[in-house]
Structure 1
Protein backbone atom coordinates (compact mmCIF):
# COMPACT_ATOMS: atom_id res chain seq x y z
CA UNK A 1 0.00 0.00 0.00
CA UNK A 2 1.41 3.38 -0.90
CA UNK A 3 1.89 6.20 1.57
CA UNK A 4 -0.58 8.27 -0.48
CA UNK A 5 -3.42 5.83 0.30
CA UNK A 6 -2.76 6.16 4.03
CA UNK A 7 -3.15 9.94 4.07
CA UNK A 8 -6.40 11.59 5.14
CA UNK A 9 -7.71 14.19 2.72
CA UNK A 10 -7.77 17.72 4.11
CA UNK A 11 -10.77 20.02 3.65
CA UNK A 12 -8.76 22.54 1.60
CA UNK A 13 -7.91 19.77 -0.88
CA UNK A 14 -11.64 19.10 -1.32
CA UNK A 15 -12.21 22.83 -1.85
CA UNK A 16 -9.47 23.00 -4.51
CA UNK A 17 -10.90 19.92 -6.26
CA UNK A 18 -14.39 21.43 -6.07
CA UNK A 19 -13.28 24.69 -7.70
CA UNK A 20 -11.24 23.03 -10.44
CA UNK A 21 -13.98 20.54 -11.31
CA UNK A 22 -16.74 23.17 -11.35
CA UNK A 23 -14.65 25.44 -13.58
CA UNK A 24 -14.44 22.65 -16.15
CA UNK A 25 -18.11 21.73 -15.67
CA UNK A 26 -19.31 25.32 -15.97
CA UNK A 27 -17.37 25.92 -19.19
CA UNK A 28 -19.01 22.77 -20.55
CA UNK A 29 -22.48 23.91 -19.46
CA UNK A 30 -22.04 27.37 -21.00
CA UNK A 31 -20.85 25.91 -24.31
CA UNK A 32 -23.69 23.38 -24.48
CA UNK A 33 -26.26 26.01 -23.49
CA UNK A 34 -24.91 28.38 -26.14
CA UNK A 35 -25.09 25.68 -28.81
CA UNK A 36 -28.64 24.67 -27.86
CA UNK A 37 -30.10 28.14 -27.19
CA UNK A 38 -27.92 30.21 -29.51
CA UNK A 39 -27.70 33.12 -27.07
CA UNK A 40 -24.45 33.68 -25.15
CA UNK A 41 -26.14 35.89 -22.53
CA UNK A 42 -28.58 33.14 -21.55
CA UNK A 43 -25.79 30.55 -21.70
CA UNK A 44 -23.66 32.61 -19.29
CA UNK A 45 -26.66 33.06 -16.97
CA UNK A 46 -27.27 29.33 -16.87
CA UNK A 47 -23.57 28.68 -16.28
CA UNK A 48 -23.42 31.28 -13.52
CA UNK A 49 -26.30 29.78 -11.58
CA UNK A 50 -25.13 26.19 -11.89
CA UNK A 51 -21.57 27.17 -10.93
CA UNK A 52 -22.61 27.95 -7.37
CA UNK A 53 -25.31 25.33 -6.86
CA UNK A 54 -23.20 22.47 -8.19
CA UNK A 55 -20.08 23.66 -6.36
CA UNK A 56 -21.93 23.39 -3.06
CA UNK A 57 -23.41 20.02 -3.94
CA UNK A 58 -20.05 18.63 -5.08
CA UNK A 59 -18.29 19.81 -1.92
CA UNK A 60 -20.91 18.16 0.31
CA UNK A 61 -20.75 15.00 -1.82
CA UNK A 62 -16.92 14.92 -1.65
CA UNK A 63 -16.78 15.43 2.14
CA UNK A 64 -19.48 12.81 2.73
CA UNK A 65 -17.65 10.21 0.64
CA UNK A 66 -14.44 11.05 2.49
CA UNK A 67 -16.13 9.85 5.71
CA UNK A 68 -17.52 6.62 4.23
CA UNK A 69 -15.31 3.55 4.69
CA UNK A 70 -16.72 1.71 1.65
CA UNK A 71 -13.86 0.84 -0.73
CA UNK A 72 -11.10 2.01 1.63
CA UNK A 73 -8.46 -0.26 3.10
CA UNK A 74 -7.45 -0.24 6.73
CA UNK A 75 -3.98 1.05 7.46
CA UNK A 76 -1.58 -1.81 8.07
CA UNK A 77 1.99 -1.37 9.33
CA UNK A 78 4.63 -2.26 6.78
CA UNK A 79 5.98 -5.73 7.47
CA UNK A 80 9.65 -5.99 6.59
CA UNK A 81 11.31 -9.36 6.19
CA UNK A 82 15.05 -9.67 6.09
Structure 2
Protein backbone atom coordinates (compact mmCIF):
# COMPACT_ATOMS: atom_id res chain seq x y z
CA UNK A 1 0.00 0.00 0.00
CA UNK A 2 1.13 3.53 -0.69
CA UNK A 3 1.10 6.24 1.98
CA UNK A 4 -1.06 9.35 1.64
CA UNK A 5 2.09 11.47 1.84
CA UNK A 6 3.65 9.66 -1.14
CA UNK A 7 0.41 10.05 -3.11
CA UNK A 8 0.37 13.79 -2.42
CA UNK A 9 4.00 14.27 -3.46
CA UNK A 10 3.42 12.33 -6.67
CA UNK A 11 0.31 14.40 -7.40
CA UNK A 12 2.11 17.70 -6.78
CA UNK A 13 5.08 16.83 -8.99
CA UNK A 14 2.89 15.42 -11.77
CA UNK A 15 0.68 18.50 -11.73
CA UNK A 16 3.62 20.91 -11.80
CA UNK A 17 4.75 19.17 -14.96
CA UNK A 18 1.21 19.35 -16.36
CA UNK A 19 0.87 23.02 -15.39
CA UNK A 20 4.01 23.87 -17.32
CA UNK A 21 2.99 21.91 -20.42
CA UNK A 22 -0.60 23.17 -20.38
CA UNK A 23 0.56 26.75 -19.89
CA UNK A 24 2.82 26.49 -22.94
CA UNK A 25 0.09 24.85 -25.02
CA UNK A 26 -2.44 27.49 -23.90
CA UNK A 27 -0.01 30.26 -24.80
CA UNK A 28 0.71 28.71 -28.19
CA UNK A 29 -2.98 28.24 -29.01
CA UNK A 30 -4.31 31.56 -27.72
CA UNK A 31 -1.30 33.85 -28.04
CA UNK A 32 -2.08 35.15 -24.57
CA UNK A 33 -0.07 34.27 -21.47
CA UNK A 34 -2.99 35.31 -19.24
CA UNK A 35 -5.58 33.11 -20.97
CA UNK A 36 -3.14 30.23 -21.42
CA UNK A 37 -2.11 30.50 -17.78
CA UNK A 38 -5.71 30.58 -16.57
CA UNK A 39 -6.49 27.49 -18.63
CA UNK A 40 -3.44 25.75 -17.16
CA UNK A 41 -4.33 26.62 -13.56
CA UNK A 42 -7.93 25.42 -13.94
CA UNK A 43 -6.81 22.21 -15.62
CA UNK A 44 -4.17 21.60 -12.96
CA UNK A 45 -6.57 22.16 -10.06
CA UNK A 46 -9.10 19.72 -11.47
CA UNK A 47 -6.38 17.25 -12.44
CA UNK A 48 -4.79 17.37 -8.98
CA UNK A 49 -8.01 16.50 -7.18
CA UNK A 50 -8.86 13.73 -9.64
CA UNK A 51 -5.33 12.25 -9.46
CA UNK A 52 -5.35 12.07 -5.65
CA UNK A 53 -8.77 10.41 -5.60
CA UNK A 54 -7.72 7.96 -8.33
CA UNK A 55 -4.46 7.03 -6.56
CA UNK A 56 -6.13 6.57 -3.17
CA UNK A 57 -8.73 4.24 -4.68
CA UNK A 58 -6.04 2.17 -6.39
CA UNK A 59 -4.00 2.06 -3.17
CA UNK A 60 -6.75 -0.14 -1.71
CA UNK A 61 -7.01 -2.51 -4.67
CA UNK A 62 -4.79 -5.56 -4.40
CA UNK A 63 -5.30 -6.84 -7.94
CA UNK A 64 -2.07 -7.15 -9.91
CA UNK A 65 0.26 -6.72 -6.94
CA UNK A 66 2.93 -9.25 -6.19
CA UNK A 67 3.93 -9.85 -2.59
CA UNK A 68 7.03 -11.87 -1.81
TM value normalised by structure 1? 0.77
Give the Cα–Cα distance (whole angstroms) in 2 for the partners of residues 52 and 43 of structure 1: 14
Question: 15, 18, 28: which one pairs with 1:25?
Answer: 18
TM value normalised by structure 2? 0.91
Greater helix content? 2
RMSD: 1.0
Give the Cα–Cα distance (whole angstroms) in 1 for the partners of residues 63 and 26 of structure 2: 36
The alpha carbon displacement at 1:45 in A equals 0.6
Gaps of 5+ in 1: 1-7, 77-82
Question: 59, 66, 71: which one pairs with 2:52?
Answer: 59
Which structure would you say has the larger Rg? 1
SS, match of residue 68 in structure 1? coil
The alpha carbon displacement at 1:52 in A equals 1.1
The alpha carbon displacement at 1:58 in A equals 0.4
Task: Please name the residue that 1:49 is paired with.
Answer: 42
Gaps of 5+ in 2: none
